[in-house]
């Protein structure tokens, strides 16, 4: 072969990962963050309040500013910052269009603005504000209507889960020491 033909060969592509490999990696990643949260050196009530705060802020249509707002409020309320930040991750850039549409539909059912239209091409904060405060107001109302009950449920569910995990872990550690 000449140098000319070698230059024209495409580079080797990395092998594509199968769905099973992707799912296995995703489960590992979720388990890592779950264990990291459960092992935080905070009280169960503090962690549960942080998760509830993250759930509430995540429900608001302020995706570019969620991290800043939740960390600032976590400092003010003196709750675990990592738990609050991780709890906001359910609303992100990948889930923005369906999540904002959900907030819009919930907001339409609780507000009197019925003539407002949802445009998935204008989901940036600047575009929503230029489209009119009514669109942002409907989505914000939907975020509050979804976020308040979700916050209450998250607090009690995470408090239960954290206490249960720590109880089981303490028993497991005691059993190992007895052996």
| pLDDT at residue 2 is higher than 60 | no
Q: Which residue has the tokens 């009530």?
A: 45
On the question of pLDDT at 6 being above 90, the answer is no
pLDDT in tens, 80-100: 999 999 999 888 878 888 888
CA contacts within 13 A on the Cβ side of 61: 32
User: In this predicted structure, what is the pLDDT of residue 92?
Assistant: 82
Burial 128-167 (b: 16+ CB within 10 A, else e): beebeeebbebbbbbbbbbbeebbeebbeebbebbeebee
Split at pLDDT 50, 70, 90, the class of 20 is: confident
């Amino acid at each position: 072969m000449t140098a000319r033909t070698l230059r024209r060969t495409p580079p080797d592509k990395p092998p594509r990962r199968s769905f099973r490999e992707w799912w296995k990696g995703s489960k590992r990643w979720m388990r890592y963050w779950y264990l990291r949260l459960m092992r935080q050196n905070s009280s169960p009530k503090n962690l549960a309040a942080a998760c509830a705060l993250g759930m509430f802020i995540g429900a608001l249509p302020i995706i570019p500013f969620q991290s800043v707002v939740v960390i600032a409020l976590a400092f003010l309320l003196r709750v675990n910052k990592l738990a609050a930040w991780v709890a906001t991750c359910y609303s992100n850039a990948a889930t923005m269009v369906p999540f904002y549409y959900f907030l819009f539909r919930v907001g339409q059912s609780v507000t009197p603005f019925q003539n407002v239209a949802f445009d998935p091409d204008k989901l940036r904060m600047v575009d929503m504000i230029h489209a009119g405060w009514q669109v942002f107001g409907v989505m914000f109302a939907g975020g509050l209507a979804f976020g308040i009950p979700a916050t209450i449920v998250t607090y009690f569910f995470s408090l239960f889960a954290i206490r249960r995990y720590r109880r089981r872990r303490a028993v497991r550690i005691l059993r190992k020491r007895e052996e």
